[in-house]
Amino acid sequence: MVDLVASLPDARALRSAASGPSGPKPRHALSRRNIFLYGTLILVAVYYLLPLYVMVVTSLKGMPEIRLGHIFSPPLEITFEPWVKAWSSACTGLNCDGLSRGFWNSVRITVPSVILSIAIASVNGYALANWRFKGADTFFVILIVGAFIPYQVMIYPIVIILREIGLYGSLTGLVIVHSIFGMPILTLLFRNYFSSMPEELFRAARVDGAGFWGIYLRIMLPMSLPIFVVAVILQVTGIWNDFLFGVVYTRPDTYPMTVQLNNIVNSVQGVKEYNVNMAATILTGLVPLVVYFVSGKLFVRGIAAGAVKG
Amino acid sequence: MSKSERPTRLFRNLNAKVASIPMILTALVVFVGGTAWTVLYSFTNSKLLPRMSFVGLDQYYRLWATPRWLISIENLLIYGVISLVFSLVIGFLLAALLDQKIRFEDVFRTVFLYPFALSFIVTGLVWQWLLNPDFGVQRVVRDLGWTSFAFDPLYNSSIVIYGISIAALWQGTGLVMCLMLAGLRGIDEDIWKAARVDGIPTWKTYLFVIIPMMRPVFITTLVIIAAGIVKVYDLVVAQTSGGPGIASEVPAKYVYDYMFFAQNLGQGFAASTMMLLSVVIVIVPWAYLEFGGRKRG
């Protein structure tokens, strides 16, 4: 693996600046180094794009064409029927109203979960950054350590808690679960962000007589919109993509989209309709993909913020 | 940090304390309480419902005598080693390539990272389709004339876990690349200048200067990947449902199946406690290295 790097002959072009590429361009566009470099990158890019391409292509073919086995060839005859079927009439068990049910369930889960988890975590982060009380850091450390505990250790006690308060199996219960497990990373995110804001700002507001909530709502909130956007991106993709909590804490008629998708594709009954399956798979992946492609660098910032400890 | 108001601190902080109630409850009730509860009940013979009748380590003896659990552990080890090694190596190489002042860096980065936005369910289902022996890669290669070509990892119990690893690497290397790229960009340019002046070859600079300097990035990445490995569940459910037979079972799936299908809570608790133990083995040395000797906060 090392010789990949070793075979890059032009060391001069390696002047990687701390802030990204900014120096002069390499002079020869078709140098051996460039052919190797771009060749490798393009090959890898093709590999990464292939599954997406195959998904799209398969979902636009009819079943007879799929049985020919040319998985990589574009459709001879484009049909949107699989998409319609996946959305509105694919069957899971007895329900035959397609993925649309799962889609709307996921919307009804994701929207309140994102709002609630961010509301709680931002206030947590704000309290930890600006209003420390005795013991606050202990809870914060527990929270961060808790982020590493496998969910499997905590799912059953939560089942019991939700059952006791009558929320087991309801969407509200799942929203609470998402807020709980989103808390460590989001609290860390907000705590670090609020800690980096100038202290004078906070002091000035205190002198002017603003309290805990006043400073939060009128100063911190408006000044930290970027971090809220990062948090929204992080949470929308994370909650939309969740499978485990969905399958544990909801009932079949309130299953989120991922669970329903898995049930449709991996159902053992009937003839496998690969085109419908792939259409359903794209439909489920569409929301996070759109979020990803629209948000661009903010998505990267979100995962970096989530990954790098502060 | 901000101890601006000493006299009224106790009263003022009441608001902060009230606002922190969800955090305190989560930390104490769910994280500490829930974990302690599960560990405690792993020593009972709970079946359909949790019962307080202790049987010592019986559940653990039974667990380690169950072939399905042993296969799960073996799979997790193979999957873990593959994930760690390949995602670190590929992720670093991609980051190093992207760091060569190339054009369209954003395009390449976007392409390498997009699978990470997809769920494990979507990832698993796409690769299930690609690796389908009748219509997928195997069929395409056979149609090209190589009729004895065999590549059906999802239907071959001896290599199925490698088929799952392929999908996992496709999904996860983009993240590693991003972290590594951030690490490479954090290296001072003077280091490169000095290495060039000394006439050290590029690959040697990477291997003996840059990588040791990026130690914190590597450790953080390692912890993130490792925490993800133990949790692997959705990918297996989507791609193989644990099959063929029980060849691709993983511990997380064992826990779920025993808790919610087999109505054998005690086994589920014991298995999840073993998962917790494996995380502790990874995290504690890391936390010791990272925070040991340094004061918290």
pLDDT of A119 = 94
CB contact under 8 A, A211 and B259: no
A151 inside domain: yes
At A226 the three-state DSSP class reads: helix
Residue B297 lies in a domain: no
Task: Give pLDDT, residue B297.
Answer: 40
Taking residues B54-70, report their average pLDDT: 91
Contact A18 B233 (CB under 8 A): no
Alpha helices in chain B (DSSP H): 9-19, 21-25, 35-41, 58-64, 67-98, 105-117, 120-130, 137-143, 160-185, 189-197, 202-205, 211-213, 215-230, 234-239, 251-260, 265-291
Residue B94 sits in a domain whose CATH number is 1.10.3720.10
Query: Is-contact B169 B104, C-beta < 8 A?
Result: no
Q: Assess if residue B176 is contained within a domain.
A: yes
Split at pLDDT 50, 70, 90, the class of B293 is low
Q: Which of residues 195-214 of B touch A (CB under 8 A)?
A: 196, 201-203, 205-207
Quick check: B101 and A248 CB within 8 A?
no
Distance CA A13, CA A21 (A): 10
Within-domain flag for B261? yes
The number of domains in chain A is 1
* Residue A175 maps to a domain: yes
In a domain, B228, yes or no: yes
Contact assessment for residue A235 and residue A182, using Cβ atoms and an 8 Å cutoff? yes
What is the tally of structural domains in chain B? Answer: 1
For residue A173, the number of C-alpha atoms closer than 13 Å in the C-beta half-sphere is 23
Residues of A in contact with B102 (CB under 8 A): 21, 37-38, 41
Q: Is residue B27 part of a domain?
A: no
Do B164 and B248 meet the contact criterion of CB atoms below 8 Å apart?
yes
Mean pLDDT of chain B: 87
Please write the tens of the pLDDT for every residue from B97-121: 998 888 888 899 999 999 999 999 9
Distance separating alpha carbons of residues B59 and B37, to the nearest angstrom: 15
- Here the tokens at position B20 are 């922190």
* Residue of chain B nearest A291, judged by CA positions: B117
**Is residue B16 assigned to a domain?**
no
Asked whether residue A26 is domain-assigned, the answer is no
What are the tokens at A117?
Answer: 């988890």
Tell me how far apart the alpha carbons of residues B148 and B138 are, in angstroms, rounded to a whole number. Answer: 10
pTM above 0.90, yes or no: no
**Structural domain contains residue B121:** yes
What is the model's pLDDT at position A7? 37
Q: Does B12 fall in a domain? A: no
The interface residues of chain B toward chain A in range 25-84, judged by CB-CB distance below 8 A, are 26-35, 37-39, 50
pLDDT value of position B285: 81
Q: Is residue A244 part of a domain?
A: yes
A213: domain CATH number?
A: 1.10.3720.10
**Residue A22: is its pLDDT beyond 80?**
no
Q: What is the pLDDT of residues A150-200, one digit of tens each?
A: 999 999 999 999 999 999 988 999 999 999 999 998 998 899 889 888 888
pLDDT on residue B296? 46
Q: Is B277 on the interface with A (CB under 8 A)?
A: no
Report how far residue A194's alpha carbon sits from residue A234's, in angstroms, rounded to the nearest whole number.
18
Chain B residues inside the 8 Å CB shell of A248 = 256, 260
* A147 occurs within a structural domain: yes
Q: How far apart are CA A62 and CA A78, in angstroms?
A: 8
B2, B3, B202 member nearest A14 (Cβ): B202
A201 within 8 A of A250, measured Cβ to Cβ: no
Whether A267 is in a domain gets the answer no
* Structural domain boundaries, residue B111: 57-291
The half-sphere exposure of A122 on its side-chain side, counting CA atoms within 13 A, is: 24
Q: Could you read off the pLDDT of A93-151 as tens digits, one per residue? A: 777 788 898 999 999 999 999 999 999 999 999 999 888 888 888 899 898 888 888 99
Residues of chain A positioned with their CB less than 8 A from the CB of B34? 153-154, 157-158
Range of the domain at A138: 102-257+286-307
Per-residue pLDDT at A254 exceeds 60: yes
- The single-letter code of the amino acid at B214 is M
Instruction: Give the separation between CA A273 and CA A91, rounded to whole angstroms.
Output: 11
- CB contact (8 A) between residue A161 and residue B22: no
